[in-house]
Structure 1
Amino acid sequence: MLTINRLQEKLRAGQQVFGLIATIPAALTVEMIGHAGYDFVIIDMEHVMINPETVEHMIRAAEAAQITPLVRVPEVDAKEILRVLDSGAQGIVVPHVESRRQMEELVQAAQYSPVGKRSLNSGRPAAFGKGSLVDYVRQANERIMLVPMIESRLGVERIADILSVPGLGMVLEGAADLSQSYGVPWQTDAAIVQEGLCRVWEASREARIPYCAIPRKPGEYTAWVEQGVHAFVLGDERGIAFRALQARRSNLC
């Protein structure tokens, strides 16, 4: 059911928050992420084959572990966003955002009237109608986070316009695809990529929208903290598990 969005509350209080992208379609790993001390999880529907029931179980696991479940959808699809939110997601992450129109469409899909056009439902986020549905609608509009990912040259160029849409809860960088957009694939530390990230951060600061960084190399986390950034995604659990497996095997030899 819809509860207080802990990620949202911590960001508003200026507290540091840490999240992971969940790429393994299993509720167990989400529960592990929560008990490992993370604040939020981004369940990935963009790069992962995953069925709706599994998404709902992963959201339920996040609730049990008391971390905020966000879901990354492949695109702004009103019907898919509706099902994800009706499953209990507390936020929607949209990849490859390049225009204000995409964000306006997201607001319309994810928010109830009078802000948007999300279809009314009294399912599990509303505790199946146990309380006032009028209050639920208001709370849902207040607590659902809308998060654009900026992953292209065009997105960087239009960042101020994108972030001018009311109701955005955080902006997430996407340096990997951004590097490809700039013609330097996987070179996330290239000067042109770092300049793009800085432009997004500066625009987010101007718009007073929390910026979420993804530290990839030693020193990047500290550098962002010194710039006043409080939100971080520390990769995905699949990559972390793979490196841990490699290290475990190597340490025996």
Structure 2
Amino acid sequence: MKNIKKRLKDRKTAIGSWITIPDPIIVEMMAKSKFDWLAVDLEHSAISISSLQNIIRIIDLSGVFPMVRLTSNDSDQIKRVMDAGAMGIIIPMIKNAKDVKKAINSIYYPPKGSRSVGLARAQDYGEGLQGYLTKLKSQAVIIIQIEHIDAVDNLEEIFSIKGIDGYLIGPNDLSASMGLPGEINHPRVKRKINYINKKAKEMNVSGGQHIIEADIKELKKALNSGTNFIGYSLDIKLFEKALREFKER
């Protein structure tokens, strides 16, 4: 398994994708597709916490870095997904430095944070707690989503917080917060996205954007732009592309 935390610190590329279908065959196929990371999406799927642990298990045992996108910046949910074996979290709707500090506090144990100590899968059911503490320090990844105009307005203070490993732009929600829902190619939205990436480079923060469509040309464009944390499509869009190509034959 690649150490995504170290890759982001060294400004190296980490390409992943998203799991929204809680089916072991789909997850296993995705995990064998040479992604650096896979994120289970709790925000926009019907995946339950009980299904989540089995999905993480498949990703983990396939040698891929397991992440979870939360439904919100919720301390209890962070604790549960980390205990289930996630090594990284993607936090939606970050708007200010206070939000970032809350997430960091929730993922780590005292004295760095306030997370309650459990003996679940992550801690090898009680037999590997000390090893997990070491692993948490060296590998846990916190990705913040910049997807609201408030976050753009507070970008410098957000990127100044030590403890985040990268950012991910959410173009659809960003456009909606600007009164332009879905208009991700609108000049105003594109200017904000360019500003986010430019400020990140200035402040040496890793990050990038979720490429929703399964389009290799867009992936190459993102890589050439200098961004290094890239979400490439998601399970349902990869499936949808194959079906669309069949229908349009």
Instruction: Give the TM-score normalised by the residue count of structure 2.
Output: 0.91
Runs of 5+ consecutive residues of structure 2 not aligned to the other structure: none
Out of 120, 135, 139, the residue aligned to residue 139 of structure 1 is 135
Residue in 2 that maps onto 1:197: 193
Deviation track 1:231-253 (CA, whole Å, cap 9, x = no partner) reads 211121111211211212332xx
Q: Identify the range of structure 1 (66-75 vs 122-131) with the bigger mean alpha-carbon deviation.
A: 122-131
1:118 is displaced (CA, Å) by 0.8
Tell me the residue number matched to 1:21: 18
Greater shift, 149-158 or 7-16, is seen at 7-16
Instruction: Establish whether residue 185 from structure 1 lines up as the match of residue 185 from structure 2.
Output: no
Q: 1:9 aligns with which of 6, 9, 17?
A: 6
Q: Secondary structure at the match of 2:242?
A: helix
Alignment correspondent of 2:243:
245
Which amino acid is the alignment partner of residue 233 of structure 1?
A: G
Per-residue CA deviation, residues 131-190 of structure 1 (Å, 9 max, x unaligned), is: 4x3443233133211111111111111111112221111100101111112222212111
Say whether residues 1:232 and 2:230 are aligned partners.
Answer: yes
Aligned-partner Cα distance in 2 for 1:138–1:207: 28
Counterpart pick for 2:64 among 62, 67, 92: 67
Aligned to 2:94: 97
Q: Which residue of 1 aligns with 2:37?
A: 40
**Structure 1 residues without counterparts, runs of 5 or longer:** none
Distance in 2 (alpha carbons) for counterparts of 1:142 and 1:241: 35
Alignment correspondent of 2:146: 150
| Matched residue count | 247
How far 1:111 sits from its partner (Å)? 0.8
Q: Which of 28, 46, 49 is equivalent to 2:46?
A: 49
Q: Which amino acid aligns with 1:34?
A: A
CA apart distance, 1:220: 4.5
| Match 1:30 to one of 15, 27, 30 | 27
SS state of the match for residue 122, structure 2?
A: helix
For 2:34 and 2:216, how far apart are their aligned partners in 1?
21
Contact 2:28 2:58 in 1 (8 A): yes
Of residues 104-113 and 228-237 in structure 1, the stretch that sits farther from structure 2 once superposed is 228-237
C-alpha contact (below 8 Å) 1:112/1:141 kept by paired residues: no
Q: Which amino acid aligns with 1:235?
A: S
> Is the 8 Å Cα contact of residues 78 and 106 (structure 2) preserved in structure 1?
yes
Higher mean displacement: 66-75 or 224-233? 224-233
Residue identity (%)? 23
Residue 92 of structure 2 contacts residue 145 of structure 2 at CA under 8 Å; is this kept in 1?
yes
Name the CA shift for 1:5/1:169 in 2 (closer, same or farther; >3 Å): farther
Q: Structure 1: how far apart are the matches of 2:46 and 2:219?
A: 31
Contact (CA 8 Å) 2:3, 2:139: kept in 1 or not?
no
User: How far apart are the structure 2 equivalents of 1:219 and 1:32?
Assistant: 22
Give SS of 2:231's match: strand
Rounded to whole Å, the distance in 1 between the matches of 2:220 and 2:247 is 30
CA deviations on 1:172-212 (whole Å, 9 max, x unpaired) are 01011111122222121111111111222123223322112
CA RMSD between the two structures: 2.0
Q: Please say if residues 5 and 139 of structure 2, whose CA atoms lie closer than 8 Å, have aligned partners that are also in contact.
A: yes
Do structure 1's residue 117 and structure 2's residue 114 form an aligned pair?
yes
Task: State the 1:5 CA deviation.
Answer: 5.3
Does the CA contact (< 8 Å) of 1:5 and 1:90 recur in 2?
A: no
